[in-house]
Amino acid sequence: MKILVTAGPTREAIDPVRYISNRSSGRMGYAVAQAALERGHEVVLVSGPVSIPAPAGARVVPVVSAADMKAAVDVHLAWSEALVMCAAVADWRPKRVSAVKIKKRGASPVLQLARTPDILAAASARKGDRIFVGFAAETGADFETEAARKRKKKRCDLVVGNDVTAPGAGFDVETNRVSFVTVDGVERLPLMSKLEVGRRIVDWIERQAALR
């Protein structure tokens, strides 16, 4: 299959030296890409700035901001048979980007923020027969309810939900504890490596594709 994977954070510039971002390491998305390649799928990996090596065989499209990532997804969506949106897209960007470094003298700046595009929601208008997998990284026990809400809102076939504050889950760790939320309900997976979660996601996509 042709699988489009997004990974990592996005960065939204404040000025030429500063940005707003988040704690995503890219590990979960890179693990999905690796798992898909192991199974012989073709992978385009649209990646925000990360410090981990790309899996061998992936075609990497490096991006910085949410707007860049949306443009890359828009370009490669037509090629793809499945979209796995692992990226932690920044939800806001500074409304104005200063062309020069903001100096400390004078009053502290007040940042006005604007919403970034919702890449997955925008892609859902062009979903066609594609399999869509979204992620819901939440902080709290109601993460499965939130994942179910996002699955419907963004027309995903599967949303992989997790509580990033749970032990062994979240940022910069090699493991994750996730729940698969589909139209059929919730499947809770035990704590496992992110690569193993990636393999389960690829298994799910393959099974779903075989049903179509």
* Residues at the interface with ligand CTP (CB under 6 A): 66, 85, 87, 89, 91, 116, 118-120, 134-137, 150, 154
> Would residue 22 show up in a list of annotated catalytic residues for this protein?
yes
Helix-helix angle 27-38:194-211, to 10 degrees = 50
- Active-site pick, 2, 13, 18, 22: 22
The C-alpha atoms of residue 195 and residue 197 are separated, in whole angstroms, by: 5
Looking at this protein, which amino acid is placed at residue 84?
Answer: V
Output the smallest distance, CB 149 to ligand CTP, in A. 8
Output the smallest distance, CB 2 to ligand CTP, in A. 19
- Give the three-class secondary structure for 23: coil
Output the smallest distance, CB 132 to ligand CTP, in A. 9
Pick 54 or 88: Cβ nearer ligand CTP: 88
Place of tokens 């992989």: 160
The C-alpha atoms of residue 178 and residue 142 are separated, in whole angstroms, by: 13
Pick 92 or 102: Cβ nearer ligand CTP: 92
Radius of gyration (Cα) for the chain, nearest Å? Answer: 17
Output the smallest distance, CB 60 to ligand CTP, in A. 17
Pick 3 or 119: Cβ nearer ligand CTP: 119
User: How many other C-beta atoms can be found within 10 angstroms of the C-beta atom of residue 60?
Assistant: 15
Pick 56 or 125: Cβ nearer ligand CTP: 125
Residue 63: name the closest of 34, 29, 35, 94 by CA: 29
Active site residue ranges: 22
